[in-house]
Amino acid sequence: AQTVTQSQPEMSVQEAETVTLSCTYDTSESDYYLFWYKQPPSRQMILVIRQEAYKQQNATENRFSVNFQKAAKSFSLKISDSQLGDAAMYFCAYRSFRAGSYQLTFGKGTKLSVIP
């Protein structure tokens, strides 16, 4: 079974600075998807970024980028120019590429605070 580990329960960053959230995962599969979801106080789960394991290029969405290290099974999220609206819980998630795979496996989350 796959597992996802977020080793930082809480982090903080100064507004306009850069912060990196860590995520590692364990799998025996070679093809899979990785996601970062953001959950603000409104509780809505918002997709931040997605990475397909077969793609070597790291995904980027505006101020959000990932450092995907497949061999190390690491998938960290970098937030540049942090804004107050980035304060939220962040969840890393894994989903198999295998046909018939229906489950997202989540990490336990990292609570990010942004200091004005």
Q: Which is nearer to another protein, 79 or 109 (CB)?
A: 109
Q: Which is nearer to another protein, 4 or 13 (CB)?
A: 4
Token pair in block for residue 96: 């198999």
Q: Which is nearer to another protein, 82 or 90 (CB)?
A: 90
Minimum separation from the CB atom of position 35 to another protein (A) = 6
| Binding residues vs another protein (CB under 8 A) | 4, 9, 33, 35, 42-45, 47, 50, 91, 97, 100, 102-104, 106-109
Minimum separation from the CB atom of position 95 to another protein (A) = 8
Kindly provide the residue ranges of all beta strands, DSSP E only, lying in the chain, ordered along the sequence. Answer: 3-5, 10-14, 19-21, 24-26, 32-39, 46-52, 60-61, 64-69, 74-79, 88-96, 105-106, 110-115
Minimum separation from the CB atom of position 98 to another protein (A) = 11
User: End-to-end CA distance of the chain, in Å?
Assistant: 41
Angle at 69 between CA 7 and CA 114, to 5 degrees: 45
